[in-house]
A and B are shown apart, each in its own frame.
Chain A
Amino acid sequence: MDIISYAAGFAIMAGIYAVFSLGLNIHWGATGLFNIGIAGFFALGAYTAALLTTQPPDPMLFEDFTFGGNWSEIGFLDLGIDLWFFLGIAAAAIACGIIALAIGYVTLRLRDDYLAIATLGIAETVRLFFLNEKWVANGSKGLYRIPKFLGDLVSPENYDYIYLGVVLAVLVALFIAVELALKSPWGRVLRAIREDEVAAEASGKNVFNFKLQAFILGAVIMGIGGALFAHNVRFLAPITFDPLLATFVIWAMLMVGGSGNNRGAILGAFAVWGIWTGTQFLPGIFEDPNFRFFMIGALIVTVILIRPGGILGEERRMAQTVKD
């Protein structure tokens, strides 16, 4: 069935976007960290996983890059379950965590706007790095031959169902982890910082330290999203990480779904991605991507006007003790 396989492809991308939306929910929804350079972590995560698992360059293909991790071919990991996939994801997560530590350490002590500028800067830096340093990842020609996870298991036309299962499993695991963390006292400190940093300090909390933790955890999740993305599209070029599709759309997802609510973050990802991809088949003006971006902008404004907290707003945490 064509429709069903299209739906699987759609759900894979929506699920990957939902991972980013969860990451942004830690940054912005819980802590109030204004990360407007999601594309940077997106690209870094995707390239890290791709470079480590792709085969070394082939001179016959005039490839410029000099390095391929080739993890997918390494024997000792050949346990029949494509362990390299998880190692690539872990490496992508660690790479994003380290970059977040560096940016956060420098900017999170300063006024809020410095983080915004720094994240915007890192997104552009990462993009230009992969564009200009051709030896790293083949520049604008892009990195292809990125391997499929469990690719030998089924025929290519049925592969999407396998990968959809993988993406949903990762999404559910991350959802549970983030939900637990944000509902815990740790998450309560983050929300206190979002509401009033000075009051959080006066309540004895090391605001800088908690902000750094939140920034790193969110970035790690974005790195995982990037890795999942790389093995889905299996072709990466700097142009893939366009700020509109790799930053703005994710913000739209969180705003529409409900900032501060993990379920909302996921719902928003599916809703916005559904509107974005669904409308491209409509005739006339909808064929213009700029118009569809405009439409998403209008959607955000409409949702914010009707339900300022998003479709599912942040939940109020009630006392557990039942009073008699």
Chain B
Amino acid sequence: MTNSPPLLQVCDVVKDFGGVRAVDHCSVEIETGGITGLIGPNGAGKTTLFNLVSGAIAPTSGRILFQGRRIEGMMMHETFKLGLVRTFQIPREMKRMTVLENLMLVPAPQVGERVWASWMMPWRVAREEASIERQALEVLELVNLAHLTNEYAGNLSGGQKKLLELARTLMAEPKMVLLDEPAAGVNRTLLQSLAATILQASVDRDITFVIIEHDIRLVMNLCDPIIVMANGTVISHGTPTQVQQDPQVLEAYLGGAVSDSS
């Protein structure tokens, strides 16, 4: 442990949806580097926590700090600029844009995103586009979607859309990536290469990952530490072995009416 503050700090955060308390006085800290697993039964509040951290929704109360900076209530494009990128549990692809366009959209800043750029400096935009396209094609190679480069994203299968979500985060230059069930619907053989891609990105590009995942085997192999949530709050936080032996975790999974089989 160094003296620098944790990359992400969630301090006593509450989120109410009408009468439902989705996140209940949740506090958690995530250090720079590594791959953190976030598990817990259905409805534990994991996705809601991602929504709060990424800025998709604002907390009812509590504070969230990224690199020591308050970020609660920011918009998603603002947290993105700070280096915080997230994926969605239910993929949100741009359906009537190609897979390639979905990815080329992401890098920021782009000179070509200024309205007059295509009129005043078309060559500069063309050069920038060529380099972004090269980057996108590499990422597509990495996530095994290269054969679908020019396909409309709306025509991808569920699993392929998940891979596209992951690819989107790799197009940015994030410090932290929040992946919401990246392996859901992805087949077993691809799972290995998916895990390898995430691991490689975390090591080579210094990206800190937080991964929500129900596939316990994947989590145990890929993630350390592991955070367990239930009823909107963190009930356990430790190494895979520590978490597996925590009686509260067993209680949360087996005691709940809805238990998760994987």
| Chain A residues engaging chain B, CB cutoff 8 angstroms | 177, 180-181, 183-186, 188-189, 191-192, 195-196, 198-207, 213, 217, 314, 316-321, 323
**Is the beta-carbon distance between A199 and B118 smaller than 8 angstroms?**
no
Q: A184 and B150 in contact (CB under 8 A), knowing A177-B119, A201-B77, A318-B98?
A: no
- Chain B residues with Cβ under 8 A from A198's Cβ? 56, 76, 88, 92
Chain A residue at minimal CB-CB distance from B146: A323
**Is the beta-carbon distance between B88 and A316 smaller than 8 angstroms?**
no
Q: A204 and B94 in contact (CB under 8 A), knowing A185-B113, A186-B113, A319-B100?
A: no
**Is the beta-carbon distance between A201 and B75 smaller than 8 angstroms?**
yes
Partner of A316, one of B76, B95, B114, B150: B150
User: Which residues of chain B from 69 to 121 have any CB-CB distance to chain A below 8 Å in the complex?
Assistant: 75-77, 80-81, 85-88, 92-98, 100-102, 104-106, 108, 110, 112-115, 117-119
- Chain A residues with Cβ under 8 A from B122's Cβ? 180
> How far apart are A101's CB and chain B's nearest CB, in angstroms?
14
**Considering the complex of A and B, which 4 residue pairs feature the smallest CB-CB distances, nearest first?**
A185-B112, A184-B118, A204-B80, A195-B94
**Is the beta-carbon distance between A319 and B137 smaller than 8 angstroms?**
yes
**Is the beta-carbon distance between B96 and A314 smaller than 8 angstroms?**
yes
Of B126-134, B233-241, B245-253, the one contacting chain A is B126-134
Q: A320 and B81 in contact (CB under 8 A), knowing A185-B113, A186-B118?
A: no
CA distance A163 to B201 in the complex (A): 61
Show 22 A/B contacts (Cβ-Cβ < 8 Å), sorted by A: A180-B118, A184-B112, A185-B110, A186-B117, A186-B118, A188-B97, A191-B97, A198-B76, A199-B92, A200-B94, A201-B56, A201-B80, A202-B168, A203-B172, A204-B80, A205-B105, A316-B98, A317-B98, A318-B98, A319-B133, A319-B150, A321-B133
**Is the beta-carbon distance between B95 and A205 smaller than 8 angstroms?**
no
**Is the beta-carbon distance between A316 and B152 smaller than 8 angstroms?**
yes
Q: A317 and B76 in contact (CB under 8 A), knowing A180-B122, A204-B81, A217-B115?
A: no
> How far apart are B112's CB and chain A's nearest CB, in angstroms?
3
- Chain B residues with Cβ under 8 A from A205's Cβ? 77, 105, 108
**Is the beta-carbon distance between A202 and B86 smaller than 8 angstroms?**
yes
- Chain A residues with Cβ under 8 A from B160's Cβ? none
Partner of B94, one of A196, A206, A318: A196
- Chain A residues with Cβ under 8 A from B81's Cβ? 204
Interface size class of B (residues with CB under 8 A): 35 or more
Query: Within 8 Å of chain A (Cβ to Cβ): is B54?
Result: yes
Chain A residue at minimal CB-CB distance from B87: A202
**Is the beta-carbon distance between B96 and A213 smaller than 8 angstroms?**
no
CA distance A207 to B95 in the complex (A): 17
Q: Per-residue 0/1 for B53-78: is the Cβ within 8 Å of any A Cβ (1 yes, 0 no)?
A: 01010000000000000000001110
**Is the beta-carbon distance between B114 and A186 smaller than 8 angstroms?**
yes
Chain B residue at minimal CB-CB distance from A201: B76
Q: A195 and B106 in contact (CB under 8 A), knowing A181-B119, A189-B113?
A: no
Q: A196 and B118 in contact (CB under 8 A), knowing A203-B105, A316-B98?
A: no
Q: Per-residue 0/1 for B161-186: is the Cβ within 8 Å of any A Cβ (1 yes, 0 no)?
A: 00000001000100000000000000
- Chain A residues with Cβ under 8 A from B115's Cβ? 181, 186, 213, 217
**Is the beta-carbon distance between B93 and A321 smaller than 8 angstroms?**
no
**Is the beta-carbon distance between A206 and B119 smaller than 8 angstroms?**
no
Chain A residue at minimal CB-CB distance from B114: A186
Q: Which of A183, A206, A207 has the most CB of B within 10 A?
A: A206
Q: Which of B87, B101, B102, B172 has the most CB of A within 10 A?
A: B101
Partner of B105, one of A177, A189, A319, A323: A189
Query: Within 8 Å of chain A (Cβ to Cβ): is B32?
Result: no
CA distance A192 to B77 in the complex (A): 14
Q: Which of A198, A203, A321 has the most CB of B within 10 A?
A: A203
Query: Within 8 Å of chain A (Cβ to Cβ): is B27?
Result: no
CA distance A242 to B115 in the complex (A): 32
> How far apart are A68's CB and chain B's nearest CB, in angstroms?
34
> How far apart are B73's CB and chain A's nearest CB, in angstroms?
14
Query: Within 8 Å of chain A (Cβ to Cβ): is B202?
Result: no
Chain B residue at minimal CB-CB distance from A177: B119
Chain B residue at minimal CB-CB distance from A320: B133
**Is the beta-carbon distance between B150 and A202 smaller than 8 angstroms?**
no
Chain A residue at minimal CB-CB distance from B99: A319
- Chain B residues with Cβ under 8 A from A177's Cβ? 119
**Is the beta-carbon distance between A203 and B168 smaller than 8 angstroms?**
yes
Q: A321 and B110 in contact (CB under 8 A), knowing A202-B54, A205-B77?
A: no
- Chain A residues with Cβ under 8 A from B7's Cβ? none
